[in-house]
Amino acid sequence: MIKYALENPVKVLVAVFFVVLFGVQAALNMPYRLIPNIEYPQITIRTTWTGASPYDMEKEIIDRQERVLKSIPGLIEFESAAMEGRCNVKLTFDLSVNVDDAILLVSNKLDEVKGYPDDMDKPTIRSADSDSFASVELMLTTRDGNTRSVDEYLSYFEEVIKPYIERVQGVADMWYWGGRAKQVQIIVDPYKMGAYNISLSQIINAVKKENIDVSAGTRAYGAKNYRFRTIGEGKTPDDIANIVIVSSDNSRLKLGDVAHVDYGYEKKDAFVRYNNKNAMNIGIIAQAGYNILDLTNDLEKVINDLNNTILKDNGIEFIWVSDQRGYILNAVSLVKSNIIAGGLLAVIVLLIFLRSIRSTLVIATTIPICIIGTFFIMNALGRSLNVISLAGIAFSVGMLIDNSIVVLENIDRHMKMGKKAVLAAYDAVREVWGAILASTLTTIAVFLPIVFIKEEAGQLFGDIAIAVSSSVGLSLITSVFVIPVATKVIYEKTDKFKFNSHSKFHNKIQHFNETVGNIGSKIVNFTVSVSDKINAKVSTRIIFVTCLTAVSLISAYILMPKMDYLPLGNKNMIETKLTVPPGISLAERRKIGNFFYKELEPYMQQDLDGYPRINTFGFAGGANVRAILTSTDEQRAGDYKPLLQNIVNQIPGIRGSTSQSPLFKVGGGQGNEFKMNVSGNMSYDQLISIVQLIQVRIYQEMADVQMQISPSANPVYPEVQLNPDREAIMASGLTTEEVGVAVDVYLDGRKIGEFKDPEIGTIDISLRGPYEEKETGNMETNPVEVSEFVVNSSTGLAVPVANLFDVKEVLSVERIRRFNSQRAFEFKIILQKGMVLEELRDNIMNKVIEPMRAEGLLNGIIISTSGASSKLENAKNALSGNFILAVIITYFLMAALLNNFLYPLIILFSIPLAATGGFMGLALTDLFIAEQPLDIITMLGFIMLVGTVVNNPILIVYQSLNYIKLGMNGKAAVRLALKTRIRPISMSTATSLFGMLPLVIAPGAGSELYRGMGSVILGGLALATVFTMFVIPALLSFFLDKVSGNDHLPEGYVDD
């Protein structure tokens, strides 16, 4: 094949052209994303039941659902949360379970649930993936001059605006906060109802039975079939008001006689503010694998069109708050720049070593061919262009030319023997193809198993594994076929030209070449002389190898840091989550929001106190209370954390945690928080006491920790309980259910039907009482005043609630959480600055949990971690196993290629040296460049080292064995192999180091993702290369010293 390529250079060049052509086309068509798509086998079931307490949600819904769901095959764990009016059940499956199959199983199991309450909504099922958080966030606000509140546009948004957004290609889902749904409200007058002897049950039954269209069948008359329908649905609120409740011979009582019927809006239970203006917050979730840039651009066009048309006509507008577009473009642009910079540095290094423009040009052609060809392979495998995959290509820039360097250097050596370019290329490739094949296969063998890791680490690293494997594989093909052909063509063409050897420029070049050559010769001679001294005696070798091994292992142990899970990233968004007292009113939540705005308003006007100007500020006061802001300086959003936390600390009775929004959502959680479940089969009061004790112990160990407990460990949610007097209820002609429905109607309103609004479609019909809640506070100063509500019976009695129930105020819980069917509490602790996840976990487990367990305080309690804290251990095990697998695969591949089981062990000795260098590189990066923990992406760098650092020892071992085959003795063969391989080893190492250097030192968006991995590879490769020059000859000499032969090569060979 090599000979065929040399004889048919045009065919080789055409093949290269096609690779470049299809590669460019693939690069233009590949989807752009920030990170690879990560699939989480998690499914969430959401159920709403308006007005139901957490206890009722747990008893009537969660219990029934968990009973049938817990037997689904592949289910690992399940957790649930019951809140007022809604509940969630989250199921986590084994990674081998297909999400679509799991959804089908869950749906089928839910169909088996019996006994649901009649008025609850149908459960909805949703899967979770890496994009389950918003790719784009919007705010809907009113325009200047519009006197209506934006809260009144919720139904208009849902029925009219939302479909426009959902139709944008690439939109998978969306969430939104704020607003109040439009309703047809029936506001009853209890006293008029009493005067007419009307009960709420009669009104409810009348509306349900009269506000309805019924298909009444068909009948043929003559040549036509006629369809019959009864038309009873109201078209206007007046139609509802005209529904007859009671009819007798002398009178008819209509709904409008005892109630006022008109349009209105549901009870306000949350608010959203954008720059101190009422708003609705909308988040757009992208489809898995879709091009985020295309989605964002298409969505922006739709939003602009809506703003200029129907939204403008209605006096409202969308404000574009944030998206990933800028971060993605900046991150991708930075990696591309690093690839170009690394390539140029590698070429400069080559030029210095080779001191030949045409030789450098030959090797430089490898870089674009392999990179562009990699795009073609990745696109064919359905991968995306993201920061991780591009970083993989950038890291491989230096490795791409390693094979070409070995081939070209050997061609150059053969040409010095006086051979013509064609013969020199042919002989040189045949001589070293085994070595470059071995080094290439070891690199690929190290990465390919990563593709099959099922954990998030495997999904995250799949792209980088394919990118590196593809580029290195292409570099092998290029070095064997393209480099010889390019050498033949370029050398034959340029040999025809004659240069002026007396020009000043030529003399300067000649002087430079001689200077570099002399320096190189001195380095080679020094290295060989040091190696000779080490190998002079067996005892010297043993001492050297033993000491070096001991120092390496001890250094690695000392330098090995605690691990983090995933890098936080540097997104331009800071979020403060507040833990407010249970049951806090909407008015109090609004006060908190106003206080935040007042404190931050000066920073929205200008740069102040060293902080860049705030770009946007939002505050949401619903079930979850949070503040978010973005910065005008996208790289400095993290600076605001102390400012926001200081505001939280000024609010009495409020705790909060402030963190930068992470790039990675870990199964619905965040990568920068420790999550711990505390569950037990005991009374709720006992469990709460233990949770409170754990909380105290954690604060004693870490006083400044930012911690949230869900649900609140303080059961102080205010609740009014109505205990029935059954005899009084029976005597009044009522039932407990009727009174409960009446109180629900008077407090929250109760849905009793649906209405077809001509503008926005279907809305609810809500039955309500005259007791309207004021936004400035509760309905009355004392919630027990509900006892004065009047309940009407069908006999005409209007009875106060106090006559039927014992009304008292108690303290209860805001929500109920369960983990694997047991009531549980979840601790969320935000990582403090300078602390990593493993360190935080060890502190809590070793200093809090284990001592408490030893004291007998946690009997019957189950402690388990979840989110990033549990996935860290899984990822460590997976990557550690992959590291060992990589070493084993590398060993057996080298054994097969060298036809020996001993020599690969010598080559593998470079790995401990590389590991020590990797930890040194990580420490230096953390000290001088940027804070850099050991996360699982950084850990991949150690796996990459396995396939990288063995290449240099392979060259020395392979060349030593080649010289022995040529008749040299073992000692001379090892010495000469070292001498002849120093140049290509130094050259390939230098090009790799400088090719990767921009990835480590260049700051910018996305650099935090791959900086740690780069520092590990740089440090490991540099240290391993230096000591390989001495360790490998020393170890090799143990086994080859006794091999007899000549002290020199046969005549006709040169050693340099």
Instruction: Report all structural domains of the chain as residue ranges with CATH numbers, in order of start.
Output: 2-33+328-566+873-1040 (1.20.1640.10), 39-129 (3.30.70.1430), 136-178+279-323 (3.30.70.1320), 183-266+726-774 (3.30.2090.10), 574-612+619-716+815-864 (3.30.70.1440)
Distance from the Cα of residue 173 to its chain's centroid: 17
CA atoms of 393 and 371, how far apart (whole Å): 7
Q: What is the CA radius of gyration of the chain?
A: 37
Kindly provide the b/e burial profile for residues 22-61, where b requires at least 16 CB atoms within 10 angstroms of the residue's own CB. Answer: bbeebbeebbbbbbbbbbbbbbbbebebbbbbbebbbebb
Residue 531: helix, strand or coil by DSSP? Answer: helix
CA atoms of 453 and 1014, how far apart (whole Å): 22
More confident residue, 512 or 357: 357
Q: Is 597 left (phi over 0), alpha (psi -120 to 50) or beta?
A: alpha
**Cβ–Cβ < 8 Å for 636, 104:** no
pLDDT higher than threshold 50 for residue 760? yes
pLDDT (mean) for 532-560: 87
pLDDT at 496: 53
Among 93-107, 261-275, 405-419, the range scoring the smallest mean pLDDT is 405-419
Kindly provide the b/e burial profile for residues 832-844, where b requires at least 16 CB atoms within 10 angstroms of the residue's own CB. Answer: eeebbbbbbbebb
pLDDT at 311: 94
Q: How confident is the model at residue 786 (pLDDT cuts 50, 70, 90)?
A: confident
pLDDT at 781: 47
pLDDT higher than threshold 50 for residue 776? no
- Beta strands 822-830 and 277-278 are unpaired
**Cβ–Cβ < 8 Å for 529, 898:** no
Contacts by 768-774, CB closer than 8 A, 24 or more apart? 768/185, 768/186, 768/187, 768/188, 768/264, 769/187, 769/188, 769/190, 769/745, 770/187, 770/188, 770/189, 770/190, 770/746, 771/746, 771/747, 773/267, 773/747
Task: Choose among 1017, 939, 992, 954: nearest CA to 396.
Answer: 992
> Residue 153 gets which letter from DSSP?
G
pLDDT higher than threshold 80 for residue 925? yes
pLDDT at 825: 92
Among 184-198, 508-522, 546-560, the range scoring the smallest mean pLDDT is 508-522
pLDDT at 434: 77
pLDDT (mean) for 378-393: 83
Q: How confident is the model at residue 501 (pLDDT cuts 50, 70, 90)?
A: low
> Residue 480 gets which letter from DSSP?
I
Give Cα separations from 1034 to 555, 828, 971, 978 (angstroms). 22, 54, 10, 11
Q: How confident is the model at residue 1055 (pLDDT cuts 50, 70, 90)?
A: low
pLDDT higher than threshold 70 for residue 670? no
**Cβ–Cβ < 8 Å for 475, 440:** yes
Give Cα separations from 561 to 231, 555, 834, 974, 1014 (angstroms). 74, 12, 12, 38, 17
* Enclosing H/E stretch for 616: strand 614-621
Most confident of 37-51, 156-170, 835-849: 156-170
User: pTM for this structure?
Assistant: 0.78
pLDDT > 70: percent of the chain: 93
pLDDT in tens, 27-39: 888 887 777 777 6
pLDDT higher than threshold 50 for residue 131? no
pLDDT (mean) for 613-619: 90
pLDDT (mean) for 233-246: 92
More confident residue, 356 or 533: 533
pLDDT (mean) for 250-271: 88
CA atoms of 768 and 204, how far apart (whole Å): 11
pLDDT higher than threshold 60 for residue 129? no
Among 262-266, 373-377, 791-795, 812-816, the range scoring the smallest mean pLDDT is 791-795
The CA-based dihedral angle spanning residues 627, 630, 635, 636, taken in that order and rounded to the nearest 10 degrees: -60
pLDDT at 140: 94
pLDDT in tens, 707-750: 888 887 776 778 888 888 888 888 888 888 888 888 888 888 88
CA atoms of 931 and 924, how far apart (whole Å): 10
Task: Choose among 802, 803, 798: nearest CA to 194.
Answer: 798
Residue 969: helix, strand or coil by DSSP? Answer: coil
Among 441-455, 625-639, 759-773, the range scoring the smallest mean pLDDT is 441-455
Residue 543: helix, strand or coil by DSSP? Answer: helix
Q: Which two tokens stand for residue 195?
A: 């005067």
pLDDT higher than threshold 90 for residue 165? yes
Q: What is the mean pLDDT of the chain?
A: 83
Among 56-70, 607-621, 832-846, the range scoring the smallest mean pLDDT is 832-846
Q: Which two tokens stand for residue 732?
A: 């009044």
More confident residue, 375 or 409: 375
CA atoms of 736 and 747, how far apart (whole Å): 17
pLDDT higher than threshold 60 for residue 789? yes
Amino acid identity of residue 805, one-letter, is F
pLDDT at 110: 92
pLDDT at 238: 93
pLDDT at 263: 92
pLDDT (mean) for 166-171: 90
pLDDT at 1008: 82
pLDDT at 525: 86
pLDDT at 240: 93
Give Cα separations from 109 to 17, 116, 1055 (angstroms). 56, 14, 75
**Cβ–Cβ < 8 Å for 730, 151:** no
Q: How buried is 314 (Cβ within 10 angstroms: 0-12 exposed, 13-18 middle, 19+ buried)?
A: middle
Q: How buried is 588 (Cβ within 10 angstroms: 0-12 exposed, 13-18 middle, 19+ buried)?
A: middle
pLDDT higher than threshold 80 for residue 620? yes
pLDDT (mean) for 771-779: 54
φ and ψ of 608, to 5 deg: -150, 135
pLDDT (mean) for 864-882: 78
Amino acid identity of residue 60, one-letter, is E
**Cβ–Cβ < 8 Å for 832, 704:** yes
pLDDT at 666: 55
Among 56-65, 324-333, 598-607, 666-675, the range scoring the smallest mean pLDDT is 666-675
pLDDT higher than threshold 70 for residue 1056? no
More confident residue, 1027 or 714: 1027
Q: Is the Cα torsion angle 205, 210, 215, 217 positive or negative in sign?
A: positive
> Residue 242 gets which letter from DSSP?
T
